[in-house]
Each structure stands twice: as C-alpha cells, then as structure tokens.
Amino acid sequence: MLSFVVRRLFFSFFVVIGVLTLVFLSMHFAPGDPIDMLISPEGGGRATPELVAQLRAKYGLDQPLHVQYGRYLKSALQLDLGRSIRNDRPVTQELVRLFPATFQLTVASLLVAALIGTAVGILAAVNKGGFIDNASMTVALLGVSLPNFLLGLLLMLLFALHLGWLPPSGREPGFSWQAIRHLIMPATTLGVATAAIIARLVRSSMLDVLKEDYVRTAAAKGVRRGTVIMRHAFRNALNPIVTVLGLEFGVLLSGAVIAESIFAWPGVGRYLILGINGRDFPVVQGTVIFIAVIFVLVNLVVDLLYSVLDPRVQYS
C-alpha cells in the first residue's frame, strides 16, 4: 500500500507540473496585457511609459518567457504562487482564505448529488422497464443537458425573486439556518447535473449486480427485499459509484466557478473569474494549480477507498 501511494504521488507531481506549464503558457500567449488593464483610463490610472516599465519590472514581466517560467516554477515548488497584480496580495494566502467557502459549496453539492442520484438510480434499477425507470432516466437526461448557469438563474428567479423563500446571493458564515438558506440554491445548481450522472451510473451498476448468483440466492432464501437491494446489491455496486463521486468532486470544485459567479459566492471560483477578467497572471495560474493539486489528491483518496469498500482489491 505504501509503495502504491508513493508511486502515485511521484507521478502526480509531474501531472501538476504539466498543468502549471500549460496554464503559464496559455496566459502569456493569450491576447491582453495585465499592466495595461491595471492602469487603463477606465480604472483612473495614468499610463505613462515610466509607470508601465516600473510595474512590468516589479512583477517580472519584463523578463524573457523562459526566465519568468523558471522563477515561477521555483516559487510554486516553495508554495509561493506570487502576488496579485491588481491588489498586490499573496495569491497563496487568498486561496487559503477563500477555499473554505468553495469547499463548503462543493461538499454540499456532492451531498445533494449523491442523495438524489443514488435514490433515483436504485428506484430505476429495481423497477427496470417500468414507468418509474423511464421517468427517472428522462429526468436524468434533462439534468445532464440543462446548463448550470441557466438552472441557477431559473432557481434565483423562482425562489428568490418571485417566492422570496431564499436569499438571491452571498454567503453567511457558520452553520446557522440563514447560512443553509444561502447555500441551498448554489448547491442545487451544481449538484443537479452530477445527480443525473450518478443516477444513470447507479442504475447501470445495480442492474449488473442484481443478476449475480449471490443476489438471487439471498432472495431465494427469503431475505427481505430491502436487505437484498441495499446490503447485497448496492454495497457491491459501490466501486464505480465511488470513482465517479471522486471525479465529480474535482469537477464540482472547478465547476463552482459558474455558481459562485451567479450567486456572488466568495470562493476560489469567483476569485478565478476576477483574475481572468483582469488578466491577473498570478491569480489565474495559482488558482488553476491549486484546483489541480486538490483534484489529484482526491483521486488518490478514491483509489485507496477501493480496498476499504472491496477487500478483494489489493494494491502492491
């Protein structure tokens, strides 16, 4: 097990370096100059040549590209992701400060997706070919097809503007009822598409397991139907579901960009959007790397969970 973890971490390191290189080159080859946007007339600045040269030197943008890359790579390996060009704050500290809000939203979205998707998938599997099965899969297809931003706007229009049941935007820290009310719409917006994916996967996995001999044997022995479904069938169908949940955690973490922008949720995703709009190189690069590292670690944890859920899975 230890050798497996070490090997995975070794290869994951190069995955993160690859992501760092791609996002670094993408930002520098894309059109637009962060210094020009920082001191543009719209922002009230004075774009004198001396000021431009001074700022470019301050942030190292006057150096050749390979020198900038080498300096940034060295700093990133020391957990220093640079300073924001727009507000001169350390990117690493800002990410650490904002991540709890994004983590809260991601976990809530995954919980919504897991509960709804698992329940719908099991109902569809045990009623294969019936009305519940067809209706569930139709709803799941709609859930996958509906864009997050459109769903978020529809929820805001209905529950915030027309009914007035939920606050339209913002985040309330803590675990009070008011905090939960702020969380419901963003979590639902992110979780619906994932719930649809999980429902389809649970149905497929359950149908495969329900055909196994041990499940039919348990039913023939008179074991209650609920016990057969949950203890014998669902438990043995968990491995692919856990895989998707792990992957979707990373997807939701990066997909929070949309929900956080719509609902003004003060998290990493909104921070990334502000960085992109301002052509803030350190913010965009640091945020993407931060998300990539979490994605890699989550996938490692998911792989390790296999051996816990299924003792037949062994790592050497």
Whether domain 95-309 has CATH 1.10.3720.10: the reply is yes
Triad 66, 71, 73: Cα angle to 5°: 90
For residue 226, CA distances in Å to 121, 124, 125 come to 15, 15, 13
Q: Average model confidence (pLDDT) for the chain?
A: 80
The pLDDT score that the predictor gives to residue 42 is: 46
189 in Cβ contact with 151 (< 8 Å): yes
Backbone angles phi, psi at 83, to 5 degrees: -120, 145
The tens digit of pLDDT for each residue in 217-244 reads 777 777 777 777 776 677 667 767 777 7
Q: What is the pLDDT of residues 63-73, one digit of tens each?
A: 888 888 888 88
Average pLDDT for 271-292: 86
What is the Cα 246 distance to its own chain's centre?
10
Amino acid sitting at position 165: W
Note the pLDDT tens digit of each residue in 154-209. 988 889 888 888 888 888 777 778 888 888 999 888 888 888 888 888 888 888 77
pTM for the full model?
Answer: 0.77
Amino acid found at 219: A
Phi and psi, residue 90, nearest 5°: -65, 130
State yes or no: pLDDT of 308 exceeds 70.
no
**Sign of the C-alpha dihedral, residues 289, 295, 301, 307?**
negative
Q: Which amino acid is at 99?
A: F
Domain map (residue ranges) of the chain: 2-91, 95-309
DSSP E strand boundaries for 152-222: none
